[in-house]
Structure formats: C-alpha cells, structure tokens
Structure 1
Amino acid sequence: MEKVIVVEGISDKTRIAPLIAEPVTILCTNGTVSATRLEEMLLPFEGQDIIILVDADASGDKLRKLIKREFPEARHFHIDRSYKEVATTPLRKLIDVLIAADVRVLNPVAGND
C-alpha cells in the first residue's frame, strides 16, 4: 500500500524527506486548513496509508482534530511536545517516529543531530 505523509509546512517536508527510503508522497497543509481544503487534498489518496505528522502545538492539534473527523482511517504519529515542531525535532527522534509508522528510513543508525 502506498504511503502519504501529511505535514504542516515545507520546512517539515524538507526535514523528513531525506530520511525516507521508499516512495512516499509528502503533502503540506501549510498550517490549519478547512474541511473542504483537506478533503480536496486527501481524497486523491483515499485507500492509501495516510500518516499524520504535524507539530505539537495548538495549530497541529486543531489540524489533527479535523483530520480525525474527516479521515478517521488516517494514522497519527506524534513528536514529543518538548520539540514543538517537526522541523526542529532531532533527526534521530524523527527516524524513530517514521520507523513506528512503518516507513522505511535510510540508515536508521545515523542522524544524531
């Protein structure tokens, strides 16, 4: 099954993309979106493995709530609240989250920043 990872911003996408060792579509919501916009974004990927990886802040929480309502089959993965943003989470922690989401990563022992 193909995988789609939903992140909030381009900085999140550029942070995780180099870690991934399989074909994955990474979608940016560019912050909180409306239910209509979210549907337009995710409907083409219905039936695929939708993985949610958004910031651990108020806008990320709001987005998660909307996604849970509109796409209950999506799988949610979380970064530690102490890092706040996906873009500022240490690579090692992001690798751990991706592995937990069954996403193949490049050299999982690397990334000690």
Structure 2
Amino acid sequence: MSRLNYDPFQAIADNNRRQILMMLSEKSLSINLLADQFDISRPAVSKHIKVLEETGFISIRQEGRERLCELNSAGFDAVREWLTYYDQFWKRKLQNLEALLEQRKKGKKGR
C-alpha cells in the first residue's frame, strides 16, 4: 500500500492510534485482540489499523486464520528525522547561549 495517503504526524495525532502503537510495542496482536481493547466499533478500529499500516507504522501478516499486527520501524523514520532536526536545533541554540553567557562572565571578570 502507498504511504503517501496519510501524513505520519496525522496518523499519530489520534489517541486511539497511539494506544494501538503502545500495545504493539509490547507484542504482536491480532486485529480482533486489538479491537477488543477499545470501546469503539470494530470497523473504526480497522480504519485506525489501516491508517497505521499505510503510513508504515505497522505491518500485518497472516498467521493461520489470524491477521497479526506488529510495529514497523520504517513508519517512525519521518518522525525520528523531524525530532532529530529539532533536537540538534535546540542543542545549538543552548550551546550558543552558553557561549554567550561564558563570554559575558569573562568580560565582567576582566573589569
């Protein structure tokens, strides 16, 4: 399936989908077991699973009569890249602030 249908940030913006991801972080689960954990209809859970699959957060494999959902690290790549960018951005800003404060501190000692 194409991963272009959904923005990964929109996919994880929904609380139900984040809960599904948290459950799958512990172990692979069938769609039926996942659906049993929610107070929403099975079709609604299936739609959430479809969004997560199309954005690459999860993959689904057939095992006997069950369809098992499991986390897929590829789906997290865009989120990881975005977070890494801003993590580095803020580190640079804090390093610049630290250097400025150190420079001012040295300037006051020299007086």
Global fold match (TM > 0.5): no
**TM-score normalized by structure 2?**
0.29
